[in-house]
Amino acid sequence: MQDMLEHAYRNGYAVGGFDLVSLDFLEAIMAAGEAQRSPLIISLAESHFDYYDFELAMAAAEQAAKRGSIPVAIHLDHGASYDSAVKAINLGCNGVMVDVSQAAFDENVARTKTIVDMSHACGVPVEGELGYVAGVEGEDAEKHPGDVIYTSVDEAKAYVAQTGVDFLAVSIGTVHGRMQGRPVLDFERLQQINRALQIPLVIHGGTGLSDEQFTRLIENGVAKINYYTALADAAGNKMRDNVAADKRSGYTGIVSGIQQAMRVEIERCMRLWGSAGKADAVLATATAWQPVHHVIIYNTDSDDAAQVSHMMQEGEKVLSQIPGVRRVITGKAVQADARYRYSWLIEFVHENVIDSYRDHPDHVAFANHLFRPVAGDRISIDFSQTSR
Ligand code: 13P
Protein backbone atom coordinates (compact mmCIF):
# COMPACT_ATOMS: atom_id res chain seq x y z
CA MET A 1 0.00 0.00 0.00
CA GLN A 2 2.81 2.41 0.94
CA ASP A 3 4.83 1.74 -2.23
CA MET A 4 1.69 1.80 -4.38
CA LEU A 5 0.46 5.17 -3.12
CA GLU A 6 3.96 6.70 -3.20
CA HIS A 7 4.18 5.67 -6.85
CA ALA A 8 0.76 7.18 -7.60
CA TYR A 9 1.60 10.40 -5.74
CA ARG A 10 4.95 10.85 -7.50
CA ASN A 11 3.54 10.02 -10.93
CA GLY A 12 0.35 12.08 -10.81
CA TYR A 13 -2.43 9.51 -10.74
CA ALA A 14 -4.80 8.03 -8.14
CA VAL A 15 -5.56 4.44 -7.13
CA GLY A 16 -9.17 3.46 -6.38
CA GLY A 17 -10.08 2.20 -2.91
CA PHE A 18 -13.17 0.21 -3.86
CA ASP A 19 -15.36 -0.96 -0.97
CA LEU A 20 -16.90 -4.40 -1.26
CA VAL A 21 -19.98 -5.85 0.38
CA SER A 22 -20.08 -9.22 -1.40
CA LEU A 23 -18.11 -11.59 -3.61
CA ASP A 24 -19.72 -9.98 -6.68
CA PHE A 25 -17.96 -6.71 -5.80
CA LEU A 26 -14.65 -8.49 -5.23
CA GLU A 27 -14.80 -10.31 -8.55
CA ALA A 28 -15.81 -7.14 -10.40
CA ILE A 29 -12.97 -5.11 -8.82
CA MET A 30 -10.37 -7.75 -9.66
CA ALA A 31 -11.63 -8.32 -13.22
CA ALA A 32 -11.58 -4.55 -13.86
CA GLY A 33 -8.03 -4.25 -12.50
CA GLU A 34 -6.79 -7.13 -14.65
CA ALA A 35 -8.49 -5.76 -17.78
CA GLN A 36 -7.02 -2.27 -17.20
CA ARG A 37 -3.64 -3.49 -15.83
CA SER A 38 -4.31 -1.20 -12.87
CA PRO A 39 -3.08 -1.31 -9.28
CA LEU A 40 -6.04 -1.30 -6.89
CA ILE A 41 -7.10 -1.30 -3.27
CA ILE A 42 -9.72 -3.71 -1.98
CA SER A 43 -11.38 -1.79 0.83
CA LEU A 44 -13.43 -3.29 3.66
CA ALA A 45 -15.33 -0.63 5.62
CA GLU A 46 -16.11 -1.33 9.27
CA SER A 47 -19.43 0.51 8.79
CA HIS A 48 -20.44 -2.33 6.41
CA PHE A 49 -19.66 -5.23 8.74
CA ASP A 50 -23.40 -5.74 9.40
CA TYR A 51 -23.74 -6.83 5.77
CA TYR A 52 -21.02 -9.49 5.59
CA ASP A 53 -18.65 -11.58 7.70
CA PHE A 54 -15.35 -9.67 7.83
CA GLU A 55 -13.23 -12.76 8.47
CA LEU A 56 -14.71 -14.69 5.53
CA ALA A 57 -14.47 -11.67 3.24
CA MET A 58 -10.80 -11.20 4.19
CA ALA A 59 -10.00 -14.80 3.23
CA ALA A 60 -11.61 -14.24 -0.17
CA ALA A 61 -9.93 -10.85 -0.68
CA GLU A 62 -6.52 -12.27 0.15
CA GLN A 63 -6.99 -15.22 -2.19
CA ALA A 64 -8.12 -12.89 -4.99
CA ALA A 65 -5.08 -10.65 -4.44
CA LYS A 66 -2.64 -13.57 -4.46
CA ARG A 67 -4.11 -15.07 -7.57
CA GLY A 68 -4.07 -11.76 -9.50
CA SER A 69 -1.27 -10.52 -11.75
CA ILE A 70 -1.67 -6.86 -10.73
CA PRO A 71 -0.61 -5.12 -7.48
CA VAL A 72 -3.40 -5.26 -4.89
CA ALA A 73 -3.52 -3.79 -1.39
CA ILE A 74 -6.15 -4.84 1.18
CA HIS A 75 -7.32 -2.03 3.42
CA LEU A 76 -9.50 -1.55 6.48
CA ASP A 77 -11.70 1.47 5.68
CA HIS A 78 -13.06 3.65 8.53
CA GLY A 79 -11.53 1.55 11.31
CA ALA A 80 -13.19 2.69 14.53
CA SER A 81 -10.78 1.48 17.22
CA TYR A 82 -7.37 0.07 18.14
CA ASP A 83 -8.87 -3.42 18.39
CA SER A 84 -10.39 -3.15 14.91
CA ALA A 85 -6.99 -2.22 13.49
CA VAL A 86 -5.25 -5.16 15.22
CA LYS A 87 -7.92 -7.57 14.02
CA ALA A 88 -7.69 -6.27 10.43
CA ILE A 89 -3.89 -6.55 10.37
CA ASN A 90 -3.95 -10.05 11.85
CA LEU A 91 -6.49 -11.09 9.22
CA GLY A 92 -4.30 -9.81 6.37
CA CYS A 93 -4.96 -6.09 5.77
CA ASN A 94 -1.80 -4.27 4.68
CA GLY A 95 -3.26 -0.79 5.09
CA VAL A 96 -5.57 0.58 7.79
CA MET A 97 -7.60 3.74 8.14
CA VAL A 98 -8.21 5.22 11.56
CA ASP A 99 -11.40 7.24 11.65
CA VAL A 100 -11.65 9.24 14.83
CA SER A 101 -12.21 12.40 12.82
CA GLN A 102 -15.30 13.36 14.84
CA ALA A 103 -13.26 13.57 18.06
CA ALA A 104 -11.58 16.81 19.16
CA PHE A 105 -8.12 17.44 17.66
CA ASP A 106 -6.09 16.29 20.69
CA GLU A 107 -8.09 13.13 21.11
CA ASN A 108 -7.89 12.38 17.38
CA VAL A 109 -4.09 12.80 17.57
CA ALA A 110 -3.71 10.64 20.70
CA ARG A 111 -5.88 7.75 19.46
CA THR A 112 -4.45 7.85 15.95
CA LYS A 113 -0.86 7.86 17.22
CA THR A 114 -1.41 4.71 19.30
CA ILE A 115 -2.73 2.92 16.21
CA VAL A 116 0.08 4.26 14.00
CA ASP A 117 2.75 2.99 16.43
CA MET A 118 1.16 -0.48 16.55
CA SER A 119 0.62 -0.63 12.76
CA HIS A 120 4.12 0.53 11.87
CA ALA A 121 5.52 -2.12 14.19
CA CYS A 122 3.64 -4.56 11.89
CA GLY A 123 4.92 -2.91 8.69
CA VAL A 124 1.43 -1.56 7.90
CA PRO A 125 0.89 2.07 6.78
CA VAL A 126 -1.96 4.15 8.20
CA GLU A 127 -4.46 6.59 6.69
CA GLY A 128 -5.71 9.21 9.13
CA GLU A 129 -8.57 11.66 8.69
CA LEU A 130 -8.81 15.24 9.75
CA GLY A 131 -11.96 17.29 9.29
CA TYR A 132 -15.27 15.51 8.69
CA VAL A 133 -16.72 14.10 5.47
CA ALA A 134 -20.47 13.82 6.11
CA GLY A 135 -22.92 11.27 4.65
CA VAL A 136 -23.08 7.46 4.62
CA GLU A 137 -21.76 5.20 1.85
CA GLY A 138 -24.55 3.76 -0.30
CA GLU A 139 -27.30 6.07 1.04
CA ASP A 140 -28.86 9.38 0.00
CA ALA A 141 -26.59 12.15 1.26
CA GLU A 142 -29.50 14.39 2.29
CA LYS A 143 -30.69 11.73 4.76
CA HIS A 144 -27.42 12.25 6.68
CA PRO A 145 -26.96 16.00 6.58
CA GLY A 146 -24.16 16.32 9.21
CA ASP A 147 -22.04 19.42 8.73
CA VAL A 148 -18.90 19.02 6.66
CA ILE A 149 -15.90 20.16 8.70
CA TYR A 150 -13.13 21.32 6.38
CA THR A 151 -9.54 20.22 7.04
CA SER A 152 -7.43 23.14 8.24
CA VAL A 153 -3.94 23.43 6.76
CA ASP A 154 -2.23 24.21 10.07
CA GLU A 155 -4.00 21.41 11.92
CA ALA A 156 -3.15 18.99 9.10
CA LYS A 157 0.56 19.84 9.48
CA ALA A 158 0.47 19.34 13.24
CA TYR A 159 -1.64 16.15 12.96
CA VAL A 160 0.73 14.46 10.48
CA ALA A 161 3.82 15.49 12.45
CA GLN A 162 2.39 14.30 15.78
CA THR A 163 0.75 11.05 14.64
CA GLY A 164 3.12 9.86 11.89
CA VAL A 165 0.23 8.86 9.55
CA ASP A 166 1.38 7.89 6.07
CA PHE A 167 -1.63 9.23 4.13
CA LEU A 168 -4.23 11.82 5.02
CA ALA A 169 -7.94 11.78 4.15
CA VAL A 170 -8.95 15.41 3.74
CA SER A 171 -12.31 17.08 3.92
CA ILE A 172 -12.64 19.72 1.19
CA GLY A 173 -16.35 19.42 0.33
CA THR A 174 -16.98 15.81 -0.76
CA VAL A 175 -19.80 13.84 0.88
CA HIS A 176 -20.25 10.07 1.27
CA GLY A 177 -23.19 8.55 -0.61
CA ARG A 178 -25.66 9.59 -3.31
CA MET A 179 -25.87 13.35 -3.94
CA GLN A 180 -28.25 15.58 -5.84
CA GLY A 181 -26.00 17.69 -8.08
CA ARG A 182 -22.27 18.11 -7.60
CA PRO A 183 -20.51 19.22 -4.41
CA VAL A 184 -18.44 22.40 -4.49
CA LEU A 185 -14.82 21.54 -3.73
CA ASP A 186 -12.27 23.82 -2.09
CA PHE A 187 -9.28 23.27 -4.39
CA GLU A 188 -7.39 26.22 -2.93
CA ARG A 189 -7.41 24.49 0.47
CA LEU A 190 -6.36 21.17 -1.08
CA GLN A 191 -3.45 22.83 -2.84
CA GLN A 192 -2.25 24.38 0.40
CA ILE A 193 -2.55 21.08 2.30
CA ASN A 194 -0.61 19.30 -0.42
CA ARG A 195 2.16 21.90 -0.42
CA ALA A 196 2.44 21.73 3.34
CA LEU A 197 2.37 17.93 3.75
CA GLN A 198 3.89 16.34 0.64
CA ILE A 199 2.31 12.96 1.42
CA PRO A 200 -0.35 11.05 -0.58
CA LEU A 201 -3.80 12.55 0.09
CA VAL A 202 -7.08 10.62 0.11
CA ILE A 203 -10.57 11.60 -0.97
CA HIS A 204 -13.61 9.94 0.58
CA GLY A 205 -17.02 10.18 -1.06
CA GLY A 206 -15.77 9.74 -4.63
CA THR A 207 -19.23 9.00 -6.05
CA GLY A 208 -20.85 11.84 -8.00
CA LEU A 209 -17.78 13.96 -8.81
CA SER A 210 -17.27 15.23 -12.36
CA ASP A 211 -14.37 14.16 -14.59
CA GLU A 212 -12.90 17.65 -14.25
CA GLN A 213 -13.14 17.53 -10.44
CA PHE A 214 -11.29 14.20 -10.37
CA THR A 215 -8.56 15.61 -12.60
CA ARG A 216 -8.07 18.65 -10.37
CA LEU A 217 -8.03 16.51 -7.21
CA ILE A 218 -5.25 14.36 -8.64
CA GLU A 219 -3.28 17.42 -9.83
CA ASN A 220 -3.31 18.58 -6.19
CA GLY A 221 -1.92 15.50 -4.47
CA VAL A 222 -4.85 13.05 -4.24
CA ALA A 223 -3.39 9.56 -4.76
CA LYS A 224 -6.29 7.44 -3.42
CA ILE A 225 -9.99 7.84 -4.15
CA ASN A 226 -12.60 5.93 -2.13
CA TYR A 227 -15.50 4.76 -4.20
CA TYR A 228 -18.56 2.73 -3.29
CA THR A 229 -22.05 4.17 -3.83
CA ALA A 230 -21.77 4.31 -7.64
CA LEU A 231 -20.89 0.59 -7.68
CA ALA A 232 -23.77 -0.31 -5.35
CA ASP A 233 -26.11 1.72 -7.56
CA ALA A 234 -24.86 0.07 -10.78
CA ALA A 235 -25.57 -3.32 -9.17
CA GLY A 236 -28.94 -2.15 -7.78
CA ASN A 237 -30.10 -0.81 -11.16
CA LYS A 238 -29.20 -4.06 -12.86
CA MET A 239 -31.09 -6.05 -10.22
CA ARG A 240 -34.20 -3.87 -10.68
CA ASP A 241 -34.00 -4.47 -14.46
CA ASN A 242 -33.69 -8.22 -13.87
CA VAL A 243 -36.75 -8.25 -11.62
CA ALA A 244 -38.75 -6.13 -14.09
CA ALA A 245 -37.82 -8.51 -16.91
CA ASP A 246 -38.84 -11.60 -14.96
CA LYS A 247 -40.88 -11.17 -11.77
CA ARG A 248 -40.39 -14.85 -10.89
CA SER A 249 -36.54 -14.60 -10.82
CA GLY A 250 -34.73 -16.33 -8.00
CA TYR A 251 -31.40 -15.22 -6.50
CA THR A 252 -29.16 -16.07 -9.45
CA GLY A 253 -31.59 -14.48 -11.90
CA ILE A 254 -31.77 -11.26 -9.86
CA VAL A 255 -27.99 -10.84 -9.49
CA SER A 256 -27.19 -11.92 -13.05
CA GLY A 257 -25.00 -9.33 -14.82
CA ILE A 258 -24.27 -7.15 -11.76
CA GLN A 259 -20.55 -7.90 -11.85
CA GLN A 260 -20.38 -6.67 -15.43
CA ALA A 261 -22.34 -3.50 -14.54
CA MET A 262 -19.93 -2.68 -11.68
CA ARG A 263 -16.92 -3.56 -13.78
CA VAL A 264 -17.82 -1.01 -16.47
CA GLU A 265 -17.89 1.74 -13.82
CA ILE A 266 -14.65 0.61 -12.13
CA GLU A 267 -12.80 0.47 -15.45
CA ARG A 268 -14.06 3.96 -16.32
CA CYS A 269 -12.63 5.24 -13.01
CA MET A 270 -9.30 3.49 -13.54
CA ARG A 271 -8.88 5.16 -16.94
CA LEU A 272 -10.05 8.54 -15.67
CA TRP A 273 -7.84 8.51 -12.56
CA GLY A 274 -4.76 7.39 -14.56
CA SER A 275 -4.13 4.11 -12.71
CA ALA A 276 -4.93 2.07 -15.85
CA GLY A 277 -1.73 0.66 -17.35
CA LYS A 278 0.37 1.33 -14.20
CA ALA A 279 0.38 -2.25 -12.80
CA ASP A 280 3.79 -3.23 -14.16
CA ALA A 281 5.48 0.00 -13.07
CA VAL A 282 4.15 -0.48 -9.52
CA LEU A 283 5.20 -4.14 -9.46
CA ALA A 284 8.70 -3.10 -10.51
CA THR A 285 9.10 -0.70 -7.57
CA ALA A 286 6.91 -2.13 -4.78
CA THR A 287 8.04 -4.59 -2.13
CA ALA A 288 5.78 -7.64 -2.07
CA TRP A 289 3.72 -8.28 1.06
CA GLN A 290 5.27 -11.50 2.36
CA PRO A 291 4.93 -13.12 5.78
CA VAL A 292 7.72 -14.33 8.05
CA HIS A 293 7.53 -17.71 9.75
CA HIS A 294 8.84 -17.80 13.29
CA VAL A 295 9.72 -21.48 13.78
CA ILE A 296 10.68 -23.11 17.09
CA ILE A 297 11.50 -26.77 17.60
CA TYR A 298 12.00 -27.89 21.19
CA ASN A 299 12.05 -30.61 23.82
CA THR A 300 10.45 -30.31 27.23
CA ASP A 301 12.20 -31.00 30.53
CA SER A 302 8.86 -31.95 32.03
CA ASP A 303 7.24 -35.39 31.63
CA ASP A 304 3.95 -33.90 32.77
CA ALA A 305 1.83 -34.13 29.57
CA ALA A 306 -0.95 -32.03 31.10
CA GLN A 307 1.49 -29.20 31.90
CA VAL A 308 2.89 -29.26 28.35
CA SER A 309 -0.57 -29.33 26.82
CA HIS A 310 -1.71 -26.40 29.04
CA MET A 311 1.37 -24.41 27.98
CA MET A 312 0.59 -25.00 24.29
CA GLN A 313 -3.08 -24.05 24.64
CA GLU A 314 -2.23 -20.88 26.54
CA GLY A 315 0.36 -19.99 23.89
CA GLU A 316 -2.09 -20.45 21.04
CA LYS A 317 -4.64 -18.24 22.80
CA VAL A 318 -2.34 -15.43 23.98
CA LEU A 319 0.17 -15.22 21.13
CA SER A 320 -2.43 -15.13 18.36
CA GLN A 321 -3.80 -11.85 19.80
CA ILE A 322 -0.47 -10.03 19.51
CA PRO A 323 -0.49 -7.41 16.73
CA GLY A 324 1.00 -8.79 13.51
CA VAL A 325 0.46 -12.48 14.33
CA ARG A 326 -1.58 -14.23 11.65
CA ARG A 327 -1.64 -17.72 13.10
CA VAL A 328 -0.10 -19.89 15.78
CA ILE A 329 0.26 -23.61 15.12
CA THR A 330 1.57 -26.04 17.71
CA GLY A 331 2.97 -29.42 16.66
CA LYS A 332 4.21 -32.76 17.97
CA ALA A 333 6.78 -34.92 16.12
CA VAL A 334 5.29 -37.77 14.12
CA GLN A 335 8.38 -39.97 14.65
CA ALA A 336 8.78 -41.12 18.26
CA ASP A 337 12.61 -40.88 18.04
CA ALA A 338 12.75 -37.37 16.49
CA ARG A 339 15.61 -35.17 17.73
CA TYR A 340 13.01 -32.55 18.70
CA ARG A 341 9.56 -33.55 19.98
CA TYR A 342 7.53 -30.33 19.65
CA SER A 343 7.16 -27.29 17.40
CA TRP A 344 5.65 -23.84 17.13
CA LEU A 345 4.94 -22.24 13.78
CA ILE A 346 4.01 -18.60 14.26
CA GLU A 347 3.24 -16.58 11.15
CA PHE A 348 4.02 -12.87 11.25
CA VAL A 349 2.46 -10.51 8.72
CA HIS A 350 5.78 -8.70 8.16
CA GLU A 351 9.46 -8.79 9.11
CA ASN A 352 8.97 -5.85 11.53
CA VAL A 353 6.90 -8.16 13.76
CA ILE A 354 10.04 -10.16 14.70
CA ASP A 355 11.03 -7.30 17.02
CA SER A 356 7.61 -6.07 18.12
CA TYR A 357 6.45 -9.62 18.95
CA ARG A 358 9.62 -10.41 20.91
CA ASP A 359 9.16 -7.28 23.05
CA HIS A 360 5.36 -7.47 23.41
CA PRO A 361 4.45 -7.83 27.13
CA ASP A 362 2.10 -10.80 26.48
CA HIS A 363 4.85 -12.67 24.67
CA VAL A 364 7.43 -11.82 27.32
CA ALA A 365 5.10 -13.03 30.11
CA PHE A 366 4.24 -16.27 28.29
CA ALA A 367 7.84 -17.02 27.34
CA ASN A 368 9.24 -16.32 30.83
CA HIS A 369 6.54 -17.99 32.92
CA LEU A 370 5.19 -20.87 30.85
CA PHE A 371 7.45 -21.71 27.93
CA ARG A 372 11.14 -21.22 28.74
CA PRO A 373 10.96 -22.93 32.18
CA VAL A 374 9.96 -26.22 30.49
CA ALA A 375 11.69 -25.89 27.10
CA GLY A 376 15.41 -25.45 27.73
CA ASP A 377 16.43 -27.45 24.65
CA ARG A 378 15.20 -25.46 21.64
CA ILE A 379 16.07 -23.89 18.31
CA SER A 380 14.31 -20.80 17.05
CA ILE A 381 14.65 -19.33 13.53
CA ASP A 382 12.71 -16.71 11.49
CA PHE A 383 12.15 -17.62 7.85
CA SER A 384 11.02 -15.21 5.15
CA GLN A 385 8.67 -16.82 2.66
CA THR A 386 10.33 -17.35 -0.71
CA SER A 387 7.33 -18.76 -2.58
CA ARG A 388 4.32 -16.61 -3.46
P1 13P B 1 -18.96 6.98 -1.84
O2 13P B 1 -19.85 5.87 -1.40
O3 13P B 1 -19.61 8.32 -1.79
O4 13P B 1 -18.33 6.69 -3.18
O5 13P B 1 -17.77 7.07 -0.78
C6 13P B 1 -17.02 5.93 -0.50
C7 13P B 1 -16.08 6.16 0.64
O8 13P B 1 -15.65 7.26 0.89
C9 13P B 1 -15.69 5.00 1.45
O10 13P B 1 -14.83 5.31 2.49
State the distance from the centre of ligand 1 to the C-alpha of 45, rounded, in angstroms. Answer: 10
Residues 6+ apart with CB under 8 A from 334: none
77 is catalytic: yes
In the three-class reduction of DSSP (H, G, I as helix; E, B as strand; rest coil), residue 203 is classed as strand
What residues of the chain score a pLDDT lower than 50?
A: none
pLDDT digits (tens, 9 = 90+) for 190-200: 999 999 999 99
Shared-domain flag, residues 190 and 337: no
From 25, 167, 227, mutation site for ligand 1 pocket: most ligand atoms within 8 A of C-beta: 227
Q: Where do runs of H (alpha helix) occur along 164-304?
A: 187-197, 211-219, 229-245, 251-255, 258-272, 279-285
Residues 6+ apart with CB under 8 A from 372: none
Spatial separation of the C-alpha atoms in residues 199 and 10, rounded to whole Å:
10
Shared-domain flag, residues 252 and 124: yes
Shared-domain flag, residues 298 and 274: no
Shared-domain flag, residues 189 and 260: yes
Transcribe 335-383 into DSSP letters. Answer: STT-S--EEEEEEESSTTHHHHHHH-HHHHHHIIIIITTT--EEEEEEE
Please tell me which residue in 3, 19, 77, 99 is annotated as part of the active site.
77
Task: Look at residues 233, 260, 285 and tell me which one is the last residue of a structural domain.
Answer: 285
Spatial separation of the C-alpha atoms in residues 160 and 154, rounded to whole Å:
10
Looking from the CA of residue 19, the nearest atom of ligand 1 is 9
Looking from the CA of residue 203, the nearest atom of ligand 1 is 8
Domain count, the chain: 2
The DSSP secondary-structure symbol of 294 reads E
From 139, 207, 224, mutation site for ligand 1 pocket: most ligand atoms within 8 A of C-beta: 207
Spatial separation of the C-alpha atoms in residues 60 and 18, rounded to whole Å:
15
pLDDT of residue 182: 84
Shared-domain flag, residues 186 and 335: no
Residue nearest to atom 9 of ligand 1 (CA): 226
Orientation angle between helical segments 229-245 and 23-36, nearest 10 degrees: 110
Three-state SS for 8-37 is: HHHCCCCEEEEECCCHHHHHHHHHHHHHHC
pLDDT of residue 178: 82
**pTM for this prediction:** 0.95
- Nearest Cα to Cα of residue 388 among 7, 46, 63: 63
pLDDT of residue 289: 93
Shared-domain flag, residues 298 and 211: no
pLDDT of residue 145: 63
pLDDT of residue 144: 66
- Domain limits for position 360: 292-384
